[in-house]
Amino acid sequence: MSSEAFMNKYRFGHHQYLNIMRVRTIENKRFLLKCSYGGISCLISPKGEIQKYINDEFVSVSIPQIKEKSFYNKMLSRFL
C-alpha cells in the first residue's frame, strides 16, 4: 500500500512510480499487487505486464505462488 499523493504536482509521477514497480516484478520474478491511495492500483505479472487495473470497488484477484528464485534473489542469498 502506498500513497502517491506527493506526486500530484508532477505530471507523470504516477506512471513513473508504476514503471518502477514493474521493474521490481521483473527483478524478483514475482506478482505484485500495487494498492495506492491517490495513484494507480493494479496487479503486475512477473514479466512486468499489468494484468488487471483496480478501481475503487472491491476486487478479488488470484495470485499464483512462484517458488523459483530470480537471479537477484539467488545472488542476495549468497551474501546474507
SS3 label, residue 32 = strand
Is pLDDT larger for residue 71 or for residue 57? Answer: 71
SS3 44: strand
In the chain, how many domains are there?
A: 1
Contacts of 52 (CB under 8 A, 6+ apart): 42, 43, 59, 61
Q: What is the pTM for the complete model shown?
A: 0.76
Answer yes or no: is pLDDT of 43 > 80. yes
pLDDT of 7 strictly over 70: no
Domain, as residue range, for 29: 2-56+63-79
Query: CA of 69: how far to CAs of 19, 54, 75, 78, 80, in Å?
Result: 22, 27, 10, 12, 15
Q: What is the rounded end-to-end Cα distance, in angstroms, of the chain?
A: 27
Q: Is it the case that residue 56 has pLDDT exceeding 80?
A: no
